[in-house]
C-alpha cells in the first residue's frame, strides 16, 4: 500500500470525494467550494462556489453540467456552466445547529441525504433525519433519530443501503423496498472499539465497506458480516471521507480535515487529499441523479 499526497490543496473541511469524468471531485464544506482535481497531479481543474455550509453533492444527468447538492436546510441544483443555483426542496426542520450533511445518488436517479444536529443537550433528540428526493422532486423522510448522518452508500452485492451515525458510532443497514422506502433496519457494525465514530463510507466490489475513522486517523474495512478485515493508519489526524477512482477504479482517494469548526489539526498533511494505491480492491462509479432541472 502506498499513501501519497495528491497535489498541494489544503481544505478546512474536505469532504464527499466523487470520481466522475476521469477526475476527482470533492468539497470544502466550510468555504462552500466544489473542486475538481487532476487525479495524477492534483492540480485544480474546476472550481465552483456556493453559499456555505455544504453537505454533499452528486452529478445530475449524463452531460456533467449539473450537480445536486445539499446546503444548510435545502437541496439545490447547481448549473456548472453558468453558476445558476436552484432550490429543489427544503426539509421541514430548522435550527441553528442543524444542517444537511452527507448524501448520495441512487440507481433510480434519486438523492438520499441526512442531517447533522450538533451541540445537543444530554438526552435531546436530534432534529431532521434521513431524506430522499425523488425524480419528481418530491421529498420523503425515510428515518429519524440520526445525530450526525454520514456515508450513505449501497452495497453492490446485497443492494442494502448503509448509513453511518457518527455521533452514535454505528453504521446501520436498510433494505430498499420496491416503493423506495426503507425496511428491515439493522445495526451493521459499531465502532466503539475503534475509538471513533465512522465518517464517510464507500464499498468495494466484494461488498466490503470502507469508512474513515475520523477521530483516530485511520481507515477501516468491514466485510459483509461486519467483521473488521483491514485497518490502515494514515498520516493525518482526521480523515473524513473516501472513494474509489482511477482508470481501473482501484485507487482510494481520502479527504481530510484541518478545521471543521469542531475538529482541527495542524500537521503537514491535515486538510490534504490523499491517494492510496495497492489496496488490492476495486470500487465502482456512482450512478447519477435524474432530476428535471
- Looking at the predicted structure, is the pLDDT value of residue 268 above 90? yes
pLDDT of 147: 98
Q: How far is residue 128's CA from residue 149's CA, in Å, rounded to a whole number?
A: 10
- 107 occurs within a structural domain: yes
Residues spanned by the domain of 230: 2-277
pLDDT of 247: 95
- 41 occurs within a structural domain: yes
Q: How far is residue 97's CA from residue 261's CA, in Å, rounded to a whole number?
A: 12
- 286 occurs within a structural domain: no
Q: What is the pTM of this model?
A: 0.97
User: What digits encode the pLDDT tens for the residues 46-99?
Assistant: 999 999 999 999 999 999 999 999 999 999 999 999 999 999 999 999 999 999
Please, which pLDDT band fits residue 178 given cuts at 50, 70 and 90? confident
- 173 occurs within a structural domain: yes
Q: How far is residue 38's CA from residue 46's CA, in Å, rounded to a whole number?
A: 9
- 102 occurs within a structural domain: yes
List, edge to edge, every strand of the sheet that includes 139-143: 98-105, 111-117, 130-133, 139-143
Instruction: Compute the average pLDDT of residues 271-278.
Output: 98
- 167 occurs within a structural domain: yes
- Looking at the predicted structure, is the pLDDT value of residue 221 above 90? yes
- Looking at the predicted structure, is the pLDDT value of residue 216 above 90? yes
- 6 occurs within a structural domain: yes
- 142 occurs within a structural domain: yes
User: What digits encode the pLDDT tens for the residues 187-201?
Assistant: 999 999 999 999 999
List the CATH number of the domain containing 157.
2.120.10.30
User: What digits encode the pLDDT tens for the residues 90-147?
Assistant: 999 999 999 999 999 999 999 999 999 999 999 999 999 999 999 999 999 999 999 9
Please, which pLDDT band fits residue 181 given cuts at 50, 70 and 90? very high
Contact yes or no for 34/265 (Cβ under 8 A): no
Neighbours of 99 (CB within 10 A): 22
Which cell is 177 given?
423496498
pLDDT of 229: 98
Which cell is 187 given?
445495526
Q: How far is residue 105's CA from residue 59's CA, in Å, rounded to a whole number?
A: 8
Contact yes or no for 261/117 (Cβ under 8 A): no
Neighbours of 247 (CB within 10 A): 8
Residue 234's nearest CA partner among 201, 272, 206, 198 is: 272
Domain tally for the chain?
A: 1
Instruction: Compute the average pLDDT of residues 28-54.
Output: 97
Instruction: Compute the average pLDDT of residues 249-258.
Output: 98
Amino acid at each position: 500500500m502506498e499513501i501519497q499526497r495528491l497535489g498541494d490543496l489544503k481544505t478546512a473541511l474536505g469532504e464527499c470525494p466523487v470520481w466522475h469524468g476521469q477526475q476527482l471531485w470533492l468539497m470544502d464544506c466550510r468555504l462552500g467550494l466544489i473542486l475538481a482535481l487532476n487525479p495524477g497531479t492534483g492540480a485544480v481543474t474546476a472550481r465552483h462556489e456556493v453559499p456555505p455550509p455544504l453537505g454533499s453533492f452528486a452529478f445530475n444527468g449524463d452531460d456533467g453540467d449539473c450537480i445536486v447538492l445539499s446546503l444548510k436546510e435545502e437541496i439545490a441544483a447547481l448549473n456548472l456552466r453558468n453558476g445558476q443555483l436552484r432550490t429543489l426542496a427544503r426539509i421541514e426542520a430548522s435550527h441553528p445547529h442543524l444542517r444537511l450533511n452527507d448524501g448520495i445518488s441512487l440507481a433510480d436517479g434519486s438523492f438520499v441525504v441526512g442531517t447533522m444536529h450538533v451541540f445537543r443537550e444530554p438526552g435531546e433528540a436530534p432534529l431532521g433525519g434521513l431524506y430522499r428526493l425523488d425524480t419528481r422532486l418530491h421529498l420523503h423522510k425515510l428515518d429519524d433519530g440520526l445525530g450526525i448522518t454520514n456515508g450513505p452508500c449501497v452495497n453492490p452485492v446485497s443492494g442494502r443501503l448503509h448509513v453511518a451515525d457518527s455521533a452514535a458510532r454505528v453504521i446501520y443497514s436498510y433494505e430498499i423496498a420496491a416503493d423506495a422506502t426503507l425496511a428491515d433496519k439493522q445495526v451493521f457494525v459499531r465502532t466503539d472499539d475503534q475509538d471513533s465514530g465512522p465518517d464517510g463510507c464507500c464499498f468495494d466490489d466484494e461488498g466490503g465497506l470502507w469508512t474513515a475513522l475520523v477521530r483516530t486517523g485511520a481507515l477501516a474495512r468491514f466485510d459483509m458480516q461486519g467483521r473488521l478485515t483491514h485497518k490502515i493508519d494514515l498520516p493525518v489526524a482526521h480523515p473524513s471521507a473516501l472513494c474509489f477512482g482511477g482508470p481501473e477504479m482501484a485507487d482510494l482517494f481520502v479527504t481530510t480535515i484541518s478545521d471543521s469548526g469542531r475538529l482541527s489539526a495542524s500537521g503537514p498533511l491535515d486538510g490534504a487529499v490523499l491517494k492510496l494505491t495497492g489496496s488490492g480492491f476495486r470500487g465502482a462509479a456512482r450512478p447519477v441523479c435524474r432530476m428535471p432541472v
